[in-house]
């Protein structure tokens, strides 16, 4: 690869890390960049998990210091997501993804429309509708498996579930989401590493960008709260919906 390619990958990591720390969806930038650089699809996905894990870890550390990882049940969710994502990554070769590719975009579209129409979404704490342990187990297993198996929109599903079912505001929901995402990233990454599906040189270049972007994005989300998280969240979800619809039906 040329120095210009590495520079573009660094910038993709920087931008992806920034967006991912605020609202998820950084893979919309990093995965196409890896594919454009000439990596085979499985290597691109494995390398993306590798570099994004470091950015997510930085974001989680910022949310932890800000006291946004105290939601009851979060530890159980992290453990469940870690284990389930490994199962999901194992299942990739055995199960057919075609149904998910066609169904998930419509689920994301529903998330986007619901969030756009609900102007008070996540601006303040709401009413808890599920016991924390039940929520952590159900969504940790379900979304952890999904993230390891397919992945797009995992963070968006976590955020909406936390706001609507756990009564979290958007800052708290984002912190919880990042912790769960980190766990499922680590679980899936372990499978990619075992299969030799990571390009370490490319990953290292993108990690440098991820660390800077994730730190800046998490800091902005902590300072500005829903004022910055909501518009970025909506933009990411609409963009992801459009991309997945095109991939599935275009």
Give just the sign of the alpha carbon dihedral 212, 213, 218, 221.
positive
Please, are residues 202 and 210 in contact by the beta-carbon 8 Å criterion?
no
**Average pLDDT of the segment spanning 156-173:** 93
pLDDT (tens digit per residue) in 55-108:
999 999 999 999 999 999 999 999 999 999 999 888 876 776 677 778 878 888
Angle at 95 between CA 94 and CA 101, to 5 degrees: 145
pTM above 0.85, yes or no: yes
| H or E, element range at 125 | none
Banded pLDDT at 227 (limits 50, 70, 90):
confident
pLDDT in tens, 99-147: 777 887 888 888 888 888 887 777 788 889 999 999 999 999 999 999 9
Averaged pLDDT score across all residues of the chain: 90
Ramachandran assignment for 118, one of left (phi > 0), alpha (psi -120 to 50 degrees), beta (any other): beta
The domain ranges of the chain are: 3-249
Percentage of the chain lying above the pLDDT 70 cut = 98
Share of the chain above pLDDT 90, in %: 59
Element (H, E) at 151: none
Beta strands in the chain (DSSP E): none
Between helix 226-249 and helix 170-194 the angle, nearest 10°, is 40
Position 250 pLDDT exceeds 70? no
> What whole-number distance in Å separates Cα of residue 203 and Cα of residue 37?
12
Give CA–CA dist 146/80, Å, rounded.
12
pLDDT, greater one: 159 or 226: 159
Residue 165: exposed, middle, or buried by beta-carbon count in 10 A (0-12, 13-18, 19+)? middle
Q: Can you give the pLDDT at residue 93? A: 65
Please give the pLDDT value at position 107.
83
What number is the average pLDDT over the span 22-48? 89
- Is the per-residue pLDDT at 249 higher than 80? no
pLDDT band at 45 (very low <50, low <70, confident <90, very high): confident
Calpha distance 184→111 (Å, rounded): 21
Question: Average pLDDT of 19-23?
Answer: 90
Q: At what angle do helices 74-91 and 170-194 cross, to 10 degrees?
A: 40
13 neighbors 208 (Cβ within 8 angstroms): yes
Reply yes or no on whether the pLDDT at 177 is more than 90: yes
Q: What does the alpha-carbon distance between residue 80 and residue 67 come to, in Å, rounded to a whole number? A: 22
- Residue 152 CA to chain centroid, in angstroms? 8
Q: According to the model, what pLDDT value does residue 245 have?
A: 85
């Amino acid at each position: 690869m040329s120095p210009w390619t590495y520079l573009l990958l660094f910038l993709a990591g920087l931008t992806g890390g920034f967006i991912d720390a605020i609202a998820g969806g950084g893979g919309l930038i990093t995965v196409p960049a890896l594919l454009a650089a000439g990596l085979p699809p499985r290597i691109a996905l494995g390398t993306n998990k590798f570099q994004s894990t470091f950015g997510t870890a930085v974001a989680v550390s910022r949310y932890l210091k800000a006291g946004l990882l105290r939601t009851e049940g979060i530890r159980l969710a992290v453990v469940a997501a870690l284990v389930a994502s490994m199962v999901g990554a194992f299942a990739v070769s055995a199960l057919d993804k075609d149904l998910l590719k066609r169904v998930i975009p419509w689920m994301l579209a529903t998330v986007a429309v619901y969030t756009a129409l609900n102007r008070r979404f996540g601006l303040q704490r709401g009413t808890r509708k599920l016991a924390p342990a039940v929520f952590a187990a159900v969504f940790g297993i379900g979304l952890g498996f999904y993230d390891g198996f397919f992945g797009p929109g995992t963070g968006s599903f976590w955020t909406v579930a936390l706001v609507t079912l756990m009564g979290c505001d958007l800052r708290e929901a984002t912190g919880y989401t990042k912790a769960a995402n980190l766990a499922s990233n680590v679980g899936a990454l372990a499978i990619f590493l075992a299969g030799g599906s990571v390009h370490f040189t490319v990953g290292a270049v993108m990690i440098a960008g991820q660390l800077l972007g994730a730190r800046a994005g998490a800091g902005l989300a902590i300072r500005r709260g829903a004022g910055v998280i909501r518009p970025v969240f909506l933009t990411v979800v609409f963009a992801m919906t459009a991309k997945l619809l095109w991939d599935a039906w275009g």
